[in-house]
Amino acid sequence: PLGWGGGGMVDWNGPFQSALAHGDYPRLHRLFVDFVSVARMYGQVVVREQGIPDISKTVKPLDGIGGVAGGRKYCVNGILFKLCGDPKLGALHWLYGGAQPSYECAAKSAGHEIKGVNAYLRAFSNIKRVSWEHPDYSDEVAVDVPFQVMLDYAGYRMTAMPYLHLDKKFQRVHSKGSDEKSSKTSLVYGYDPKTGLVEDGTHRAPKLKPALKSLARRLHLAEHHVAGRKLYTAADIEVHLGCDRRLYALDLARAFPAESSNLCAHLPREKRQPEFFRLMRPELLAEIAKEGIAPPLSPDTFTGFSRGSPPEEGKKLEMGAHKATAYLLSKVIPRLAKELDADSKTLNFREPVASILHKRGINCRHIGLLRAFVKSKPVRDTLFVELAARTLKGLLRARLRKSSAQSEYDLIMMTVKFFNLVVNSPRFWNTKVYKGLLSRFGVVGLLSQPSAQNFAEKNRKFCG
């Protein structure tokens, strides 16, 4: 049964951590089903109320917790929701979209957070879970992660996780203008946005660093320096002390390194900031480690966090990212294209295209490049259907977000009208869909003949 946490909220995290520690998978399944049911119900309320003032909302936003990258926060029934959005950082600058806001890029970051949670859970799945203050705490102790789900509704995307009660036992001093202010924090590792300082766990949780070092080794991540501190994860991944004496890793959207955008010439950049949402997949990192293609990589490469690192370290990490990206573009993707061509007579895509790509460490944004390598017309046609379907999905979500519809009926009717355009309007395909294809996958995926050989040759120099 579920318990009750502080403030009269349902405690979802306690039963989850207990069931996980004891390997009670039937209990985990029941908990997950219940959580998804409740999260879906309240998540729909949060989305439907986006068009009304905050003071009139049933579920009011929490504007005082966490950073801005994950989106606006809401809390109800022990569930913390993060509604995706592209936060504005300056007069004409947004975190993900760069020169203009991009909800679609922000939504990709939420998907990366789910991948990060899964990777951390897998990495620590067979390790004894005890309190970090326990005498049995060893180098191989687990850092805990609260489970999360991703919800898509009416064009919006959000993540939902149990609300955690954190122990703010550590003192910190931060400046506000000419004044120095003191406050309490639960942060033991990661970047603190209030002070602008980076904690590496040395003083607040000395036994944490060996666990993170072990994690980095499993995920092929590099030890690197940020603001003079040695880290094993992205700087904005935070580890907090919970009131249950566990250490929790939070904000895992940048768990994996970014691709080298300079090598991905087939993808449009459009003044965006791809280092925050065009990340490598864990399957690719595993293959790179196994084949010795590149040394461990840093998730902070190409970001502002890398500016203070030692010059030689920064160059080495950037070259590693270039090698890994070149290997993906000139080896992994052409290899899959050959497999698909060889099986084209019997291939009927029983398995989803996304699953075929992901198992090989290829992101779906590279479907256009994959199609350019493929020679078989039936396979090229199937890949184009996938390109079109993903573009249509993005266009539909954008329309639903712009609407003021608050009822299920209105959302259904908008969707029906959209698919009438898809079926009956050549002009819609020649304008909206065509532009959508270009902005998501680049022109290389739209060409009628295979066209990627020169592109592959150009990138092979990084692979040796």
The answer to whether residue 358 scores a pLDDT higher than 80 is: yes
The residue to which tokens 């998540």 are assigned:
43
CA dihedral (345, 351, 353, 355) in degrees, to 10, reads -140
Joined tokens for residue 291:
């084949």
What is the average per-residue pLDDT within 58-84? 87
At 127 the pLDDT is: 61
**How many CB atoms are closer than 10 A to CB 408?**
11
User: What is the DSSP secondary-structure string of 311-357?
Assistant: HHHHHHHHHHHHHHHHHIIIIIHHHHHHHHHHTTTT----S-HHHHH
The span from the CA of 99 to the CA of 337, in Å, is: 35
Q: Which of 282, 285, 281, 278 minimizes the C-alpha distance to 262?
A: 278
The span from the CA of 133 to the CA of 445, in Å, is: 54
The span from the CA of 179 to the CA of 177, in Å, is: 6
At 356 the pLDDT is: 92
At 291 the pLDDT is: 96
The answer to whether residue 1 scores a pLDDT higher than 50 is: no
What average pLDDT is seen over the chain? 87
pLDDT in tens, 243-259: 888 889 999 999 999 99
User: What is the DSSP secondary-structure string of 267-302?
Assistant: S--TT--GGGT-B--HHHHHHHHHHT-S--B-TTTT
> Residue 189, CB half-sphere, CA atoms under 13 Å: how many?
28
Lowest mean per-residue pLDDT among 87-96, 172-181, 203-212, 347-356: 172-181
Lowest mean per-residue pLDDT among 160-174, 253-267, 414-428: 160-174
The answer to whether residue 174 scores a pLDDT higher than 70 is: no
Joined tokens for residue 254:
């940048």
Residues 6+ apart with CB under 8 A from 118: none
The span from the CA of 334 to the CA of 336, in Å, is: 5
Which carries the bigger pLDDT value, residue 131 or residue 225?
225
**How many CB atoms are closer than 10 A to CB 453?**
11
Q: pLDDT category, 76, cuts 50, 70, 90? A: very high
Which carries the bigger pLDDT value, residue 351 or residue 451?
351
The answer to whether residue 462 scores a pLDDT higher than 60 is: no
The answer to whether residue 134 scores a pLDDT higher than 60 is: no
The residue to which tokens 């003071």 are assigned:
55
At 444 the pLDDT is: 87
Q: What percent of the chain has pLDDT over 70?
A: 87
What is the average per-residue pLDDT within 200-228? 89
The span from the CA of 110 to the CA of 3, in Å, is: 28
The span from the CA of 83 to the CA of 71, in Å, is: 5
* Kind and range of the H or E run holding 360: none
Residues 6+ apart with CB under 8 A from 90: none
The answer to whether residue 67 scores a pLDDT higher than 90 is: no
* Kind and range of the H or E run holding 175: strand 170-176
Lowest mean per-residue pLDDT among 256-270, 326-340, 351-365: 256-270
Which carries the bigger pLDDT value, residue 363 or residue 446?
363
At 62 the pLDDT is: 87
Question: CB burial class (10 A; 0-12, 13-18, 19+) of residue 461?
Answer: exposed
At 70 the pLDDT is: 79
Length of the chain: 464
Q: What percent of the chain has pLDDT over 90?
A: 57
Q: Which residues pair with 170 in a beta bridge?
A: 185
User: What is the DSSP secondary-structure string of 19-86?
Assistant: HHHTT-HHHHHHHHHHHHHHHHHHHHHHHHTTTS-GGG-SS-EE-SSS-STT-EEEEETTEEEEE---
At 360 the pLDDT is: 95
The answer to whether residue 289 scores a pLDDT higher than 60 is: yes
At 8 the pLDDT is: 57
Residues 6+ apart with CB under 8 A from 353: 364, 367, 382, 383, 386
**How many CB atoms are closer than 10 A to CB 267?**
22
Q: pLDDT category, 29, cuts 50, 70, 90? A: very high
Provide the residue type at 160 as one letter.
Answer: A
At 365 the pLDDT is: 95
**How many CB atoms are closer than 10 A to CB 454?**
7
Q: pLDDT category, 113, cuts 50, 70, 90? A: very high
The answer to whether residue 409 scores a pLDDT higher than 60 is: yes
At 135 the pLDDT is: 47
The answer to whether residue 132 scores a pLDDT higher than 60 is: no
At 345 the pLDDT is: 66
Confidence (pTM): 0.89
What is the average per-residue pLDDT within 432-441? 94
The answer to whether residue 178 scores a pLDDT higher than 70 is: no
The answer to whether residue 151 scores a pLDDT higher than 80 is: yes
The answer to whether residue 3 scores a pLDDT higher than 80 is: no
Q: pLDDT category, 142, cuts 50, 70, 90? A: low
At 283 the pLDDT is: 96
Degrees to nearest 5, angle at CA 386 with 382 and 388: 115
Provide the total of helices (H) and of strands (E) in the chain, helices listed first.
14, 17
DSSP assignment letter at 232: S
Residues 6+ apart with CB under 8 A from 176: none
What is the average per-residue pLDDT within 178-207? 82
SS3 431: helix
CA dihedral (118, 119, 120, 121) in degrees, to 10, reads 50
Contact call for residues 348 and 309 (beta carbons, < 8 A): no
